[in-house]
Every structure is written in structure tokens, then in C-alpha cells.
Amino acid sequence: MSKKALCIGINDYPGTQNDLSGCVNDANDWAAALATRGFTVNKLIDSQASKAAMVAGMSGLISGAAKGDTVIITYSGHGTWVPDKNGDEPDGRDEGLCPWDIGSGKVLLDDEIAPIFAHRAAGVRVILISDSCHSGSVTRGDDSDLDPGLPRARFLPPSVWMKAADLPAPRIALLPTLSGLSRSGGDLLMAGCTDTQYSWDTSFKGRPNGAFTYYALKAFAALPASASYNDWFKAISPTYLPTNQLPQNPQIFGTKTARAWKIFS
């Protein structure tokens, strides 16, 4: 049985004027936490995380896994959406992750991720942890670690990267969700927020991080080694998120069986 992970963090989005600050730290932090649980970890950071490299990294990791193996993919960066063209999305939108080269129109859609996940062998566990858009609002949680100043949303509107001629007609503003990714063949998805919210890029104690990543790893460090994903999720929310300054409700998608798995096992 092997345990392998791919940690993706993108701060630099050339051509968009929408750079982030905490995503590279997120990827490094996830990689360090996974290494402590025996994972072999590869990272794609900034320019390494082109669409082609993300596809190749995910494909190689999943297709190369055998029964009993565990694969974990973490993503920290912008989320976005495009108009749904095949009718498989109730909201009329395909959700996507924003690679480093999104400025060239290269978005990684949930419809493209699904066949990658579908190539896994029977008995392979696939877990996706995403600190991108999604998000929500409530007045509770713990803001004590948060540095002063406003956080930044990890959402890239289509108008930033899509050609004007390809933009959809104006409509009520919605945010992208990764619910489509939860149907892509993975066993478990943990995400930073709901489909009506943002995941926030901010700073804690002078160090940039994603709010969800920071609090997820803070909660993880306090849990016993035997804790399940359900235990972990309950330790994150509502203890840490949402808060007044970070109005995002973390989400967990997966079967009852998957949620009961021991974390990073």
C-alpha cells in the first residue's frame, strides 16, 4: 500500500492582475503535514502549475495507484466558471480550477477532471482538498490569529481571463462551486466554503495563508492520530470558521464510509 500526494499552490497569475499571497504557503504546509503521515509528496508551485502540468500530475498520480493506495490532491488558488455546454450542470455553469496560465484562457474544468479520476483502479482512495471558491456568512468562530486588514477572495471572474467575445450574457452573479468535482470520481472532497461564498486569501501572524488551510491544519495538529475526516471537519467548523471577517462555511462531501476513514491513512 502506498500513499502519494500532489500539492498545488498558485499565487502568480500572469496577465490577470489578480495575484494571491497565501497559496504557495498553503501547498508547502499541506505537503509538510502529509509527509508526517508517510506520504510521498510532489508539489506544483506557481509557473510549475500550468494546466498541462496539473493534468499530467493528477493523471500520473491516479492512474499509477493500485488497490489499497491512497491519493490526496490539494489545491490552493483561484476558482472560476464557464457556461455549461453539455447540460450536466443544474446551475448552467461548469466549475473550474485556475492554473498558472489561466491568463491564456487555459482553465481546468470539472468536466476535464472527471475522466482523470475515472481512470483509477478499484480500491484506490482519492481525496481532494480545495482552498478556492465556494464560501458563506455567520458571526461566530475565532478571529484571534487573523492579521489586521481585509482578506482577498480566491475567485477569478470570467471577465478577467476570458475573451470578450466568449463572455456569457449578463445574469445574476453566482460563485463557482466544486460540487461538480465531488462527482468526478473522488471519494472525499473537503472545501473551503459553500457555493454562495468565497474562500479567503489572508494573513496570520505575519504569514500569508488561505483561511481554510490555516484553520484546517491548526485543527489537524490537535487531533489524535486515530481521528476520522468527520472528526476533523467538526474540529474546523464552527470552532474556527466562519467568522465575522472570514464569512466562509467549510464543506465536506463523500460517503458515510469515506468520512469515517482515519485522516491521511
* CATH number for the domain harbouring residue 61: 3.40.50.1460
* 133 part of the active site: yes
* 78 part of the active site: yes
pLDDT surpassing 60 at residue 149: no
Domain count, the chain: 1
- Is residue 153, in this structure, part of any structural domain at all? yes
- Is residue 76, in this structure, part of any structural domain at all? yes
Separation between Cα atoms, residue 190 and residue 134, nearest integer Å: 11
Q: Is the distance from CB of 138 to CB of 196 less than 8 angstroms?
A: no
pLDDT surpassing 80 at residue 139: no
- Is residue 105, in this structure, part of any structural domain at all? yes
For residues 180-190, average pLDDT: 64
Which domain, by its residues, includes 42? 3-259
Separation between Cα atoms, residue 184 and residue 9, nearest integer Å: 21
- Is residue 224, in this structure, part of any structural domain at all? yes
- Is residue 8, in this structure, part of any structural domain at all? yes
Query: For 192-247, how does the pLDDT look when each residue is reduced to its tens digit (9 = 90+)?
Result: 888 778 889 999 999 999 999 999 999 999 999 999 999 999 999 999 999 888 88
Contacts of 244 by beta carbon, 8 Å cutoff, 6+ apart: 139, 141, 143
Q: Is the distance from CB of 143 to CB of 244 less than 8 angstroms?
A: yes
pLDDT grade for 87, boundaries at 50, 70 and 90: very low
- Is residue 265, in this structure, part of any structural domain at all? no
- Is residue 264, in this structure, part of any structural domain at all? no
Q: What is the pTM of this model?
A: 0.84
Q: Given 7, 78, 134, 193, which residue is catalytic?
A: 78
CA distances from 222 to 96, 170, 218, 231, 235 (A): 32, 46, 7, 11, 9
pLDDT surpassing 50 at residue 183: no
Q: Given 7, 23, 98, 133, which residue is catalytic?
A: 133
Q: Is the distance from CB of 185 to CB of 3 less than 8 angstroms?
A: no
For residues 6-20, average pLDDT: 94
Separation between Cα atoms, residue 157 and residue 145, nearest integer Å: 29
